[in-house]
Amino acid sequence: MHRTVLFLSLIPAAWGLSLMAQSPSTSAPQQVHANLNQLMRGVLYPAANVVFFPQADNPGEIKFIPGHDPNMSTDPLTSSFGGWQAVENAALALAESANLLAISERKCSNGVPVPASDPAWSMFLQQLRDAGMQAYKAAQAKDQDKMISIAETVNASCVGCHRKWRDRKTPANRCK
């Protein structure tokens, strides 16, 4: 009996050691898979729309569709993690996206590197982080009035950067 217990208690320790030896390195290089435009369309734009939702409607009053599986919802507000939790998650996504935007290897849609070394770029990224965290705190408090006032802060963090680097008329000039 004692041998069985000893043997069984050693198995997890042995597995743990082998798993530790196979753990990925924490110093792995960052990989960039999306250009700036793709990152904006895939992460920032959808997250901002969820953060802006409380300007018109209270996320806590979202009605779920009978017979609709929230696990299959493509709308974050009506998903399993919907309502105010979706607004919290979207606000955090905006704040965390500043880190993705800071990766110097990222390119704009025209192939020009993002202006990561420009001090104005860093300032805009910090504004995005701060606005995302303010929105997160307001969403945690389920404070729709605060979300309405923070919406302008979030918008301003986007507009400043867009005015400087996003040229709609001549996309070849973006990020220059």
Per-residue pLDDT of the chain (176 residues; tens, 9 = 90+): 555 444 444 444 444 544 445 666 667 778 899 999 999 999 999 999 999 999 999 999 988 777 788 888 889 999 999 999 999 999 999 999 999 999 989 999 999 999 999 999 999 999 999 999 999 999 999 999 999 999 999 999 999 889 988 877 887 888 88
CB 115 within 8 A of CB 104: no
Which residues, 6+ apart, have CB-to-CB distance to 68 below 8 Å?
A: 78
Which residues, 6+ apart, have CB-to-CB distance to 4 below 8 Å?
A: none
What does the pLDDT read at residue 24? 61
What does the pLDDT read at residue 23? 62
What does the pLDDT read at residue 22? 60
CB 83 within 8 A of CB 57: no
Indicate the SS3 state at residue 92: helix
Q: Does domain 31-60+74-173 have CATH number 2.30.29?
A: no
What does the pLDDT read at residue 74? 87
What does the pLDDT read at residue 15? 47
Q: Across the chain, how many H-helices and E-strands are there?
A: 6, 0
Q: Which helix (H) or strand (E) holds 56?
A: none
What does the pLDDT read at residue 25? 62
Q: Which helix (H) or strand (E) holds 132?
A: helix 119-140
* Assigned token pair, 123: 């300032």
Spell 137-154 as b/e; 16+ CB within 10 A means b: ebbeebebebbeebbeeb
Indicate the SS3 state at residue 107: strand
